[in-house]
Amino acid sequence: MTDRPIWAPWRISYILGEKEETCLFCRVIEEDNDEANLVLYRGRLAFVIMNLYPYNPGHLMVAPYPHISELENLDTPTAAEVMELTQKCAAVLKKKMAAQALNVGLNLGEVAGSSIKEHLHMHVVPRWQGDNNFMPVLDDIRVVPQALEETYKFLVSEF
């Protein structure tokens, strides 16, 4: 354990703020405030949004518009667009952020680690050699070196 403080001032709004009672993704779909909601792209059947609490800078999510939690209930055209947008995310992260690798996947259900279990979404997490430094070993701490707003402005033009 370290005796030095680790600063993550952007988290205090989440810690102290009211928690959403409705589905985050459904709210974002309804609103017309993409920059504030970190929506990078809206497709015909799905959209790309930045993760507000990323594992790494550039952590993106692709979510379908329908409020569906089970993969087997996703229709084929929507599933295809989710995958197409996931491929687009991979290409953008490699080009703009020089990602050396990616973690891509779904957490289906709370037991699988989903924090928004009621609305299926694909995670696309860029990775670099050495990005998993000593911090997670100390106390499940991750250091994200870039503000979300800066990452948003950096990535949005590619979508």
Query: Which token pair is 139?
Result: 């106390």
Query: Which token pair is 74?
Result: 């996703």
Q: Which one is catalytic: 59, 67, 119, 121?
A: 121
3-state class (DSSP) for residue 156:
helix
Q: Give me the phi and psi of 106, to 5 degrees please.
A: -115, 140
Q: How far apart are CA 141 and CA 121, in angstroms?
A: 24
The verdict on whether 119 is a catalytic residue reads no
**Contact indicator for 81, 41 with CB cutoff of 8 Å:** no
CA 68 to chain centroid, in Å, comes to: 17
Residues with catalytic roles: 121
